[in-house]
Structure 1
Amino acid sequence: LTQLLGITDIDLHIDEVTGEDKTVDVVVDIFNLVNSGGTKLSKGDLALAKICVEWADARDYMKQALAGWSKAEYRFSLDWLLRSVNSVVTGEAKFLYLHDKNAAQIQKGLDTAIKHIDTCLNMISGRLGLDHDQVFFGRFGIPVLVHYLDRRNGLMDQKERDKLLFWFVQAGMWGRFSGSTESYIDQDLAALQGEDGGLDKLLEQLRLWHGGLRAEPGHFTGWSLGARFYPVLYLLTRMGEARDWGTGLPLKTSLLGRMSKLEVHHIFPKAQLYAKKYLRAEVNALANFCFLTKDTNLNISDRLPEEYFSEIEKAHPGALESQWIPTDPELRKIENFGRFLDARKELLAKELNKQMEGLLHGDQRWLSGSVRVPEASDKVLGGITSAEEEDLLDDIRVWMQDKDLSQGLLSYDFADPITGEQKAVFDLAWPTGIQEELSQPVAVLLNEDNETLAIASRAGFRCFTSPDAFKQYVSEEILGMSMAV
């Protein structure tokens, strides 16, 4: 007992590191240097920890908001939400600007951010049809939208709302936030500020960065569910009131029943194409996808368009055209599959430009300018190619959620950090690490070729090719416990 009580008499040296120069970045670096063997700290963690000192329930309050959006099939992280809070409270993206804000300011900013995020999601879902996480590209454009709504006190007419959504879609299509996320958010927030700031300046900045904003057929050359234009195809299905081929009804979000859930349908069936020696990228080409109800998808099965298109035309005239299917009967033959893809890409690009013009209400100047069309050699590697892969990845995300860890980004858009040009799609990724911003980037890559694995590895990602291997890594190295696989 004497020895135990003697511990209280030990004089431990405490080296206090203080000063105005100790920014969030500096403190995080010091903490991680001292605590190199323990859990890493991110800038978002430190900002949130400081907030929780004054407002103990802040983290739980934020998690409640995230849980609400998750029920609506939008999955976001604490860091992502904090970016939006930051854009309201400080007008900046970097967390260091939250350092001198008190609990009352943060709480007010959080309530405001949540309200504006709800508005954004309602606009994006209702007007653009992007109603779940898989098709929700450009999520880091939300802090910019939130800031804009806050400056406008949430008041917009139809034209202004649509113009803002035009910017959101274009930013997502061209990968505005696929590279240096924080710096681009800062640039876009700055474009909204000052006497000359506003939506026009935001759009002009996007056009100067990317070039012309009009779509060309070549932009629909991608493949897999991770193609950057996959959400665009879904958007067109919703905005253009594409019709189901089994019922003839528009594919609206209000469709009820388990068998009415939308599924990706291969217009030319996979089995038939593989039997003819078509490559994986051709079989899963974006132009070979459309969306149908589950019931219709099952009924069509693996029949060729040459057989089932005539049935649809007879039962539901115009339903094929509503999904941008070329009318030439010759293109329904499997030997003309390549020509079918080219013809459909033309129709998809035309429809996309029509919908974008609709969002601009005739103000087409933003669509002008030279457009860079991907070359045939600009192959984007990787991506989810089957429902089976998607189910495995969803299981991983649920498992991570149960461990109270980040679920990662499905179909992560790996792009050039400067140009935003898409280079590859990683099935499931944590680009800033499972312990955000500090632990090693991680990617789960199922059934991918060596070239895709090499791209991810060169970019610093630790790659896993099976769910079991990934779970073992998380259990042993992140959670610090062993797991029998």
Structure 2
Amino acid sequence: MFKSVLTWGPLQKKILELQGEEIRSRFNEIEKGILGALDFLKREANIKHYKMIPFPGLLVPLSAFFATNKTEGISYSSKQKDIILKWFWRSLFTRRFSAGVNERQATDIANMLGLKNDENYDFKLPKNEIKFDFAKSNFSAGNANSKTHILLLNSLTPLSLLSGATIDLNKVLKKASKHEYHHIFPKKHLEREGFARNEINTLSNICFLTRADNNSIKDAAPSVYGAKIDSDRKNKYLQKALIPGTFESLNYNDFIASRTALLEQRAKDLMA
């Protein structure tokens, strides 16, 4: 990673030819680049922990933008911020750094350094498209699609459905607890309805809940626990969780279709 931050040439060979002394002499610059990249994601994308980044390879181009010897670090304009965020979300939803990482890093490093020097630089952005299916991808907190889903939900600062408590993603990660991830149509409820595991554990059926709310809901059907949501705040809670307003009255297949549409629209908004 350090070598990649130091050079923006399109050839991997140029990066590999760097000597250890050059890296050591520019260590401060590299360190500030990495810390600046992480601080940007925390400040502008509400990503409070590096472990939630689905593709660590994207940190290399972002670190190149923030690499500096200046004590005060790199400042950025509103236009630069918007372009970087668009690049970030498009990189996630297109799974840009899932393959061909070296070549794509070199291309994006060049783009980032061009943008760093000129906010009007002709930055070549990834396509505005989603290369995985929320309705068919299964949830596992450690895989890239699930992390992208978590960051998508976290972008709206979700509230727990029953208590309205703010979900602190940083605490969720520190506890490494599965209890803050909730099947909106609970697993056992769907098993009783005859649904298979891969149908139940889809990304479109996952939201955040506090452990207390999760324990309160247990395996109750949405038609049961939905009645417990504060009616005055229900719309707010559901909108922040990207859950259809009539979720408790929908059958499971219709719910998945409706929520997938909401998730896809939010993804498109972030990439626009």
Q: What is the rounded CA distance, in whole Å, between the counterparts of 2:176 and 2:104 in structure 1? A: 41
Q: 1:271 aligns with which of 159, 163, 188?
A: 188
Alignment coverage as a number of residue pairs:
262
What do you get for the CA RMSD once the two structures are aligned?
3.4
Shift of 1:159: 3.4
SS in 1 for 2:124: helix
Structure 2 residue aligned with 1:322: 240
Q: 1:142 aligns with which of 34, 37, 59?
A: 59
Q: What is the rounded CA distance, in whole Å, between the counterparts of 1:233 and 1:88 in structure 2? A: 28
Q: What is the rounded CA distance, in whole Å, between the counterparts of 1:291 and 1:333 in structure 2? A: 20
Structure 1 residue aligned with 2:253: 338
SS in 2 for 1:242: coil
Q: What is the rounded CA distance, in whole Å, between the counterparts of 2:109 and 2:52 in structure 1? A: 24
Q: What is the rounded CA distance, in whole Å, between the counterparts of 2:16 and 2:176 in structure 1? A: 47
Q: 2:164 aligns with which of 248, 253, 258?
A: 248
Q: What is the rounded CA distance, in whole Å, between the counterparts of 2:65 and 2:38 in structure 1? A: 14
Q: What is the rounded CA distance, in whole Å, between the counterparts of 1:169 and 1:260 in structure 2? A: 26
- 1:165 alignment partner AA: L
Matched, 1:189 2:189: no
The 5 A counterparts of 1:323-402 are 323-328=241-246, 331-332=247-248, 336-356=251-271, 367=272
Matched, 1:117 2:34: yes
Q: Of Structure 1 and Structure 2, which has the larger fraction of its residues in helix?
A: 2
Residue pair 1:245, 1:320 contacting (<8 A) in 2 also? yes
Deviations 1:407-465 (A, max 9, x none): xxxxxxxxxxxxxxxxxxxxxxxxxxxxxxxxxxxxxxxxxxxxxxxxxxxxxxxxxxx
Larger radius of gyration: 1
Shift of 1:263: 1.6
TM-score by length of 1: 0.48
More off after superposition, 263-272 vs 153-162: 153-162
TM-score by length of 2: 0.80
Q: Of Structure 1 and Structure 2, which has the larger fraction of its residues in strand?
A: 1
Deviations 1:343-380 (A, max 9, x none): 11112222333344xxxxxxxxxx4xxxxxxxxxxxxx
Shift of 1:305: 0.6
Deviations 1:50-71 (A, max 9, x none): xxxxxxxxxxxxxxxxxxxxxx
The 5 A counterparts of 1:213-224 are 213-214=128-129, 219-221=133-135, 222-224=137-139
Matched, 1:161 2:78: no
Q: What is the rounded CA distance, in whole Å, between the counterparts of 2:47 and 2:55 in structure 1? A: 11
Shift of 1:194: 6.8
Deviations 1:269-318 (A, max 9, x none): 11121222212221001110001122221221111111001101347433
Percent identity for Structure 1 against Structure 2: 23
Q: 1:239 aligns with which of 155, 165, 171?
A: 155
Residue pair 1:259, 1:293 contacting (<8 A) in 2 also? no
Q: What is the rounded CA distance, in whole Å, between the counterparts of 2:42 and 2:62 in structure 1? A: 14
Structure 2 residue aligned with 1:179: 99
Q: 1:291 aligns with which of 202, 208, 231?
A: 208
Q: What is the rounded CA distance, in whole Å, between the counterparts of 1:149 and 1:133 in structure 2? A: 16
Shift of 1:215: 5.3
Deviations 1:155-196 (A, max 9, x none): 20233123212212211221111111112212223445679x
- 1:303 alignment partner AA: A
Q: What is the rounded CA distance, in whole Å, between the counterparts of 1:353 and 1:268 in structure 2? A: 25
